[in-house]
Structure 1
Amino acid sequence: MILKGVLFDLDGTLGDHDASVAAALAAWLPSIGMASDEATIRAWEEITERHLVAWRRREISYAEQRRRRLEEFLGVRHDPDEADAIFAGYLAHYDTGYRACPDAVAAVDEAAGAGLAVAVLTNGSAVQQRGKLRRIGLSHIAQVFTPDDLGVAKPDPEAFRLACGRWGIEPGSVLSVGDNHAFDVLAAREAGLRAVHLDRSGSGPVEEMCRISTLGALDAYL
């Protein structure tokens, strides 16, 4: 099939999620009386992923996964309104510091310039993820698919199938691009899409043949 669209992941692909988390924790943790050290940051990341798994399975709401993350991290249970207020302190720093990856805007422009439709499939909440795209200068991407919209999250291949169906493009004519090999590559291929792994860190898997270290190399697949 002729390539007609490029489906980008957001966090870690177009936006620098890891740097935003690190900067947000460095600013937020001291404000709640905690040290911003390596062990604390690692604990936050591990706890975050554990509760995001439950959200991706649609077992809890997005707001609830935030509350559970905070409760486990602090070791204290708060009522929902208080927990939301505490988490808002972290979130304000994260959102304010969210930046585009250096190669993101040019890659999106290149895909569009090649006559391809461009969309985003992301596992974040709809409101937050669209806000991120505005901040990094990519609000012109009209098609943004999230679990809020689709009712299912990556790595379920159904997320890709539903996104393509709503986009109106056959899966075989869509290229998925993302930094998570399991979520953005293997799941996409299972749904019938083409896929390329954005492996910025060079951590592999090395047997993946469709692998790039920067979005600047994406033109080889367009």
Structure 2
Amino acid sequence: MGIRAVVWDVDDTLFDYTAADRAGMRAHLAAEGLLERYGSAERALALWREVTEAQWARYAAGEVTFQGQRRDRVRVFLGEELGDAGADAWFDRYVAHYETAWALFPDVLPVLDALAASHRHAVLSNSSLHVQDRKLRVLGVHDRFEAILCAAELGVSKPEAGAFHAACAALRLAPDQVAYVGDHPLIDGRGAADAGLLSVWIDRHGVDGRGAADAGLLSVWIDRHGVYTADDAAAGPHRIASLAELPALLGADTRFGARPTFR
């Protein structure tokens, strides 16, 4: 039957989370008078990223709630035993700066337009519906997706097969009729492949990897910032450098990239 739908990750796949997070935290630390505390802005941003990844992993493993990981990110980063109200207030001030930097990657709208007639679309994120629903509305793409599923409400997170199968069930399609595009080679890539979905790897920086084709599947993963090594990445014989290549990879009947015929 072929691939009939594409399920998308959001952060660092459709939405440039890393750039927005860095810009937002830099502005927040400046407003809070904290940049000098960490020696330099780069050291502060690197620490924030490290703390974020560690606390997000705890949330994904079910060790803490979504709001709890936000509070713990603040406490660990500041090295202070703040109460819940204090941690929430500090994080909310950061979010105000972070949201001003929200943006889609430039290749997102063109590929969604190109695949609109040929494929159905949904979102599967390890975040919460409250956060991602609003984000997609602000970014102007909410109506592009038939379903938006998030781990906080599902009760199961990627890379568990149940998360991917929930997205397939929402579309009423079998896993082998669904492609999944995400940025993390293990949580997204290996998880989707193990769940029986088509995995796709977008390699924007020419980083070689080992394929999710361990299971004979096509692999497309995003390594926008060179974070993952070849040993970490799920490998595959097919690789794209831009989402502009995705329609051809899926065999979509589109005129993506064609010159307009109107005057």
TM-score by length of 1: 0.94
* Structure 1 residue ranges, 4+ long, deviating more than 3 angstroms after superposition: none
Q: Is the 8 A contact 1:121 1:144 kept in 2?
A: yes
Aligned pairs for 1:110-149 within 5 A: 110-114=114-118, 116-140=119-143, 141-149=145-153
Q: Which residue of 1 aligns with 2:16?
A: 16
Q: Which residue of 1 aligns with 2:232?
A: none
Q: Which residue of 1 aligns with 2:240?
A: 212
Q: Is the 8 A contact 2:128 2:153 kept in 1?
A: no
Q: State how far apart, in whole Å, the 2-side matches of 1:126 and 1:203 are.
A: 32
Q: Which residue of 2 aligns with 1:74?
A: 78
Which amino acid is the alignment partner of residue 178 of structure 1?
G
TM-score by length of 2: 0.80
Cα shift at 1:3:
1.4
Which amino acid is the alignment partner of residue 187 of structure 1?
G
Q: State how far apart, in whole Å, the 1-side matches of 2:136 and 2:206 are.
A: 26
| Gaps in structure 2 of 5+ consecutive residues | 211-234, 251-263
Q: Is the 8 A contact 2:147 2:170 kept in 1?
A: no
| Aligned counterpart in structure 2 of residue 106 of structure 1, from 98, 104, 110 | 110
Post-superposition CA distance 1:65-103 (Å, at most 9, x none): 011111010011111011100110111111221101101
Q: State how far apart, in whole Å, the 1-side matches of 2:98 and 2:127 are.
A: 14
Q: State how far apart, in whole Å, the 1-side matches of 2:30 and 2:97 are.
A: 13
Which amino acid is the alignment partner of residue 77 of structure 2?
F
Q: State how far apart, in whole Å, the 2-side matches of 1:106 and 1:179 are.
A: 19
Instruction: Give 3-state SS (helix, strand or coil) of 2:204's partner.
Output: coil
More RCO (CA 8 Å, sep 6+): 1
Post-superposition CA distance 1:29-67 (Å, at most 9, x none): 112221161111111001111111111112211111011
Q: Is the 8 A contact 2:66 2:152 kept in 1?
A: no
Q: Which residue of 1 aligns with 2:226?
A: none
Q: Which residue of 1 aligns with 2:27?
A: 27
- Over 3 Å counting, the alpha-carbon distance change for 1:9 and 1:204 in structure 2 is farther
Which amino acid is the alignment partner of residue 212 of structure 1?
I
CA-based RMSD: 1.4
Q: Which residue of 1 aligns with 2:205?
A: 201
Q: State how far apart, in whole Å, the 1-side matches of 2:208 and 2:21 are.
A: 23
Q: State how far apart, in whole Å, the 2-side matches of 1:47 and 1:203 are.
A: 25
Which amino acid is the alignment partner of residue 24 of structure 1?
G
Cα shift at 1:15:
0.6
Instruction: Give 3-state SS (helix, strand or coil) of 1:45's partner.
Output: helix
Q: State how far apart, in whole Å, the 2-side matches of 1:189 and 1:162 are.
A: 15
Q: Which residue of 2 aligns with 1:52?
A: 56
